[in-house]
Structure 1
Amino acid sequence: MKKIFALILMVGAFSCAQKEEVIDYTKMSDEERLKAATEIAQSIIMVDGHVDLPYRMKVGGFTLQREILDVSVRTPDGNFDFPRAKEGGLDAPFMSIYIPAGNQKTPGASKALADSLIRMTERLASTFPDKFAMAYSPADIEANFSKGLISLPMGMENGAGIEDDLANVAYFFQRGIRYITLTHGTDNLIGDASYDTTGTHGGLSPFGEEVVKEMNRVGIMVDLSHVSDNTFRDALAITKVPVIASHSSVRKFTPGFERNMSDELIQAMAKNGGVMMINFGGSFIDSAYAAGSAKVREHLVNYLAENNLSRTDSAFKAYAEAYAAANNPFPTVQRVADHFDHVKNLVGVDYIGLGSDFDGVGDSLPTGLKDVSMFPNLIAELLKRGYTKEDIEKICYKNIFRVWKAVEDYAANQ
């Protein structure tokens, strides 16, 4: 009897200890909360659904020579490199294999560019194996994380890379692509894009329907960022597995901006079991910034002409930076958190992820989220608003892993 009583006491003590471990981050000072957020970021896996490093490397002329572009060390520009990723706790940025819509005009050009950017990403991992590693599954990311390596999973931004050949879906799976954004800036053979008002297909094309089915079959996640609302609905009606939006934000804060997701689409995605990965770009976050940007651009174009300057002149760069800051202040990390709150309140925290669009949205990034080192600022803001550590884990990796594994499991049973 004494042994049983002692065991009951031990269980009770353990239960109390467990309860005591629950931390109320809302009662911390800002400094304490940021420290806690940094510790969380650096101790758990963090996945970002969309980082445009491959195209940045292409534009920068990536070679093995450090004087060109070496993101294994701190770089003076851009939003991503190894040291800053480690500081911010980013472990698995999806490398965007970005296909500009202009490539669609030349048969074969989209697939060729995709192959080139995939090779470039693989070269980054092979050149710096002590820092980066390729990743083709959640299991790969977990293994790389245990070794302190930054994983480089890949997603193809713009299904134009498939060209007009359904066999290329399986081809790109073999090349390592694990999601495909169905469209980009203009309608393509798969379906209609949010930025294009043409409405070529009225949603998914018949070919696009087959593409979605084939992506399900081989195990590539269907990414519905960039698609029109009709394409979004059509894809949800066809897919047999959860989908993602790798880098989209909430339309409520940007009325009329179809590139962001309406409440209807957010709810439909949640019903599908998918995950919406929030974009940090200023125009995605705040309509006031988007409107202000247009006015600033118009002023700066006139300023260039009036003063006979070019965009590369140092005098113009200094003026442009100062003018933009004074006339169109950047959104803040708090505004980004508003998007997370909206989705959480609408459908729950199980359907939210990170999709920064770092290296893809220029200098529009919010104050407090200018590069990958600053993820703890966002986490701290979410903790301040009552998000738990478990919530943060879901946002950082558990939600996207759930979707990814569901896609893997479905494909394995085909």
Structure 2
Amino acid sequence: MKAKLALIAAALLTSSAAMAVTPSEQAIKLAKETIIVDGHIDVPYRINDTWEDVSRATDGGDFDYPRAVQGGLNAPFMSIYIPASYETSGDSVQLANRLIDSMEALVGRAPDKFALAHSVADVEKAFAEGKIALPLGMENGTPIQGSLDNLRHFYERGIRYITLAHSQANHISDSSYDLRRKWNGLSDFGKELVVEMNKLGVMVDISHVSDDAFYQAAEISKAPMIASHSSIRQFTPGFERNMDDKMIKKLAENGGVIMINFGSSFVSKQARQWNDQFSSKMEEKDLSWSDPQAETFSKQYRQNNPYPFASLELVLDHIDHVRDLVGIDHIGIGSDYDGVGDSLPENLKDVSTYPNLVQGLLDRGYSDADIRKILSGNLLRVWREVEAYAAAH
């Protein structure tokens, strides 16, 4: 799925002349003085595919150290992303370990800039020391391979949330993207896994899973769950990957947090429709995503059909919607930087732009206290509760 998104985004042409946001001193100060947790950034897979030293300024991608400092980003969850194809290839454990190794190596190269974070206390310690904490989340539970020993192994390596599935059903859960409903929710092992994740202190991430899998996980989990990078289905009708109001209410009942994905196709109906139409044209021409002609076709298509980038205002609309539905305590940020290619909204193009988001929240009347909850307070509360449950069991 990420390869598809990268290809879709390879030649996007901006059709919008959105005004640049100039954050106020108050917005910049809030961003700099508050821990900012982003629930999902795809640096590990990005640099595994094409190496870049993100401890320095990079020409590509959405994340590097200088831009993170500029934006006030302190605790990005590094996504240990495992493509769905690895469910059958047998190499998922090796890939997951290699991606974790890359984050440990990054800290080893730049210990003055980064620190691994296996707990809320680690995040707070890194912040106090002026370092960027790097907590780890596994996107796609395929490397668990039906073994609770593997779950414990990856916990020991620092994994603190697991996205149960990705773009296809795996041995744990059905996927929102997969029309087949292999398990009609969670597998028997998936149900067992949720229980064990609670006991161990690994957050259950329901981004990507089917609606049935979500509700089953919500009934089983005794600790709050997260949606590490999901947005609101009302704005993208028919897009099951996002959450509807009933699901958000259930997530909130359990004390959980939905972390808003910035990708244009996650927040904009028009961008969602554009993606669907483009995919249909690819199918009509019998072009696969690995076909070298696909990039040429995509460039030509975009010249005639400019991509409808979402706006910062629309991202804020998603945040408003959750606040109005379930309250301020259940909102976070899960940008999906480095995971959605060049489909990011105007004024939210990389990790330097969090002050723009803060400015937008201030303009809409959010208090400093509420903004701090969105930036990190809510997610850190959930993480503490997950830690506390595990300590008691």
Asked if these proteins are the same fold (TM beyond 0.5), I'd say: yes
Distance in 1 (alpha carbons) for counterparts of 2:328 and 2:93: 36
* Corresponding residue for residue 237 of structure 1: 219
* Corresponding residue for residue 38 of structure 2: 48
Of the three residues 351, 365, 378, the one matched with 2:344 is 365
Give the fraction of aligned pairs with identical amino acids, expressed as a percent: 50
Of the three residues 109, 114, 121, the one matched with 1:139 is 121
Distance in 1 (alpha carbons) for counterparts of 2:108 and 2:133: 12
Preserved contact between residue 83 and residue 166 of structure 2 (Cα < 8 Å) = yes
> Secondary structure at 1:48's aligned position in 2?
strand
Please state how far the C-alpha of 1:114 moved relative to its aligned partner: 0.6
Preserved contact between residue 56 and residue 359 of structure 1 (Cα < 8 Å) = yes
Please state how far the C-alpha of 1:329 moved relative to its aligned partner: 2.5
Q: Residue deviations 1:161-196, cap 9 Å, x none?
A: 101212211111101000000010111111111101
Please state how far the C-alpha of 1:38 moved relative to its aligned partner: 1.4
Distance in 2 (alpha carbons) for counterparts of 1:311 and 1:355: 29
> Secondary structure at 1:404's aligned position in 2?
helix
Q: Residue deviations 1:234-272, cap 9 Å, x none?
A: 001001110000000000000110000000000000000
* Corresponding residue for residue 184 of structure 2: 202
Unpaired stretches in structure 1, ≥5 consecutive residues: 1-29, 63-68
Q: Which has the greater radius of gyration?
A: 1
1:262 aligned onto 2:244: yes
CA distance 1:261–1:129, change in 2 (3 Å): same
Please state how far the C-alpha of 1:292 moved relative to its aligned partner: 1.9
* Corresponding residue for residue 413 of structure 1: 392
Residue 42 of structure 1 aligns with an amino acid whose one-letter code is K
Please state how far the C-alpha of 1:371 moved relative to its aligned partner: 0.4
Please state how far the C-alpha of 1:35 moved relative to its aligned partner: 2.8
* Corresponding residue for residue 96 of structure 1: 79
Preserved contact between residue 296 and residue 328 of structure 1 (Cα < 8 Å) = no
Residue 346 of structure 1 aligns with an amino acid whose one-letter code is L
> Secondary structure at 2:80's aligned position in 1?
strand
Distance in 2 (alpha carbons) for counterparts of 1:336 and 1:281: 9
Please state how far the C-alpha of 1:376 moved relative to its aligned partner: 1.0
Of the three residues 306, 322, 332, the one matched with 1:343 is 322
Residue 58 of structure 2 aligns with an amino acid whose one-letter code is T
Unpaired stretches in structure 2, ≥5 consecutive residues: 1-19
Q: How does 1:5-404 map to 2 (within 5 A)?
A: 34-60=24-50, 62=51, 69-107=52-90, 109-296=91-278, 323=304, 327-404=306-383
Bigger Cα displacement from structure 2, 341-350 vs 374-383: 374-383
CA distance 1:80–1:322, change in 2 (3 Å): farther
Residue 242 of structure 1 aligns with an amino acid whose one-letter code is P
Preserved contact between residue 33 and residue 384 of structure 1 (Cα < 8 Å) = no
Please state how far the C-alpha of 1:328 moved relative to its aligned partner: 2.9
Aligned length: 370
Distance in 2 (alpha carbons) for counterparts of 1:214 and 1:281: 32
Preserved contact between residue 23 and residue 356 of structure 2 (Cα < 8 Å) = no
Distance in 1 (alpha carbons) for counterparts of 2:124 and 2:45: 26
Q: Residue deviations 1:47-106, cap 9 Å, x none?
A: 00000000000001x3xxxxxx11111111110000000111100100000010000012
CA distance 1:410–1:380, change in 2 (3 Å): same
> Secondary structure at 1:169's aligned position in 2?
helix
Preserved contact between residue 141 and residue 165 of structure 2 (Cα < 8 Å) = yes
Distance in 2 (alpha carbons) for counterparts of 1:198 and 1:302: 22
